[in-house]
Amino acid sequence: MQITGKTSFAFQAMILLTHIELDQIADAIKQKQREIEISASLGRWNPKQAQIDGNLVKIEDESFDFSRVKYDRKSVYRLEDATLKKIQFFSEKTNKLYKLVSTTPMPTLSISGIYMHRLIEGGPKADNQRRLHLLHPLKNCRVLDTCLGLGYTTIEAARHCKMVCAFEVDPNVIEIARMNPYSWEAFHQDNIHLTIGDVYEEIENLEDASFDRVIHDPPRFSLAGDLYSRRFYEQLYRILRPRGILFHYTGRPGSQKHGRDFPAEVMKRLKEVGFRKVTRVPEVLGVTTRR
């Protein structure tokens, strides 16, 4: 199912708070301030006024009793029906816990305790910029992003290229992204085409040599082994144009406990299906290659 911002999957605007804003409110209450300016969008958009009357805090049309609030340093909270609720939920279908985690400067996604972004200096945005630099030039390129996640890589690529086609297999991830201000463009930018579906299956419907660049950042091997298979790599080779570039995030699973060189295994399979100039890029825990 292909979606755009005009569908029921559009971004869901709401008041969002983290420990940063809640600490500011706590200090204001101690100092008996009646009004302070805080972010209600994780720092993404213009700040809002929080009106304070004792322990009662009002932001726009929502109010809550701060004396009843308990919060931690990692969670992102949405203000709804006079209650602060963590942006997290458990899916019985996948048997996983999904959570939006407060990190700087942009939040990350946690799935059953596993962070979906590397928390390096500069956060997810800096990490994405390092990866995309390996795919330059992007101007006038058609880009495939195999696994959307929160959409940070897709959004950054769309700023430089002609079009990005992105896939996301897990509707739970989409639901988290819909509440994340930094994912807004994934649902509203004209040159981003998002499909909810399994790229392992959907890739067969893509035309031969139809993409100039491919970003392949799958979940770890234990969660999505098919996306590291020779069969899937054959499909990536098929849809990539001659002289097109692929970036493949591999991580380093098994390297510490078992001495396994997982990136080398990936590189071997890529070469077997026809990719050339397969190069390890350790600073971004991935490999690049060309058709």
Residue range of the domain that includes 80: 15-86
Q: What pTM was computed for the model?
A: 0.91
Looking at the domain assignment, is residue 258 inside a domain? yes
> 135 and 257 share a domain?
yes
262-272 and 230-239 helices, crossing angle to 10°: 50
Please compute, for residue 128, the number of CA atoms within 13 A of its CA located in the half-sphere on the CB side.
Answer: 22
Q: Are residues 123 and 201 in the same domain?
A: yes
- Is residue 113 classed exposed, middle or buried when 0-12, 13-18 and 19+ CB atoms within 10 A define those classes? exposed
pLDDT at residue 104 in the model: 85
pLDDT score recorded for residue 255: 54
Reading the block at residue 129, the tokens are: 């910029």
CA distances from 264 to 24, 170, 270, 286 (A): 48, 28, 10, 10
- SS3 string, the chain, reads CEECCCCCCCCCCCEEECHHHHHHHHHHHHCCCCEEEECCECCCCCCEEEEEECCEEEECCEEEEHHHCCCCCCECEEEECCEEEECEEEECCCCEEEEEECCCCCCEEEECCEECCCCCCCHHHHHHHHHHHCCCCCCCCEEEECCCCCCHHHHHHHCCCCEEEEEECCHHHHHHHCCCHHHHHHHHCCCEEEEECCHHHHHHHCCCCCEEEEEECCCCCCCCHHHHCHHHHHHHHHHEEEEEEEEEECCCCCCCCCCCCHHHHHHHHHHHCCCEEEEEEHHHCEEEEEC
pLDDT of residue 201: 96
The pLDDT tens digits for 229-265 are: 999 999 999 999 999 999 999 987 655 556 679 999 9
Query: 70 CB contacts (<8 Å, ≥6 apart)?
Result: none
So what's the pLDDT on residue 161? 96
144 plus 281 within the same structural domain: yes
CA atoms of 248 and 216, how far apart (whole Å): 5
- How would you class 64 by CB atoms within 10 Å of its CB: exposed for 0-12, middle for 13-18, buried for 19 or more? buried
What would the pLDDT profile of 181-190 be if each residue is shown by its tens digit? Answer: 999 999 999 9
Domain edge (last residue) among 62, 86, 110: 86
In a domain, 244, yes or no: yes
- Residue 97 counted as domain residue: no
Alpha-carbon distance values, 33 to 57, 99, 110, 201 (Å): 11, 33, 36, 57
Structural domain includes residue 105: no
> Do 257 and 170 share a structural domain?
yes
For residue 9, what pLDDT is reported? 60
CATH of the domain at 239: 3.40.50.150
Edge-to-edge strands, sheet with 48-53: 35-38, 48-53, 56-59, 62-65
Listed residues 61, 86, 111: the one ending a domain: 86
Question: What whole-number distance in Å separates Cα of residue 4 and Cα of residue 10?
Answer: 7
The total domain count for the chain is 2
Tell me, yes or no, whether 75 and 204 share the same domain.
no
Residues of the chain with pLDDT under 50: 4-8
pLDDT at 109 (0 to 100): 95
Residue 130 dihedral angles phi and psi, to the nearest 5°: -65, -40
What is the reported pLDDT for 6?
Answer: 39
Question: In terms of domains, do 62 and 154 share one?
Answer: no
pLDDT of 223 reads: 81
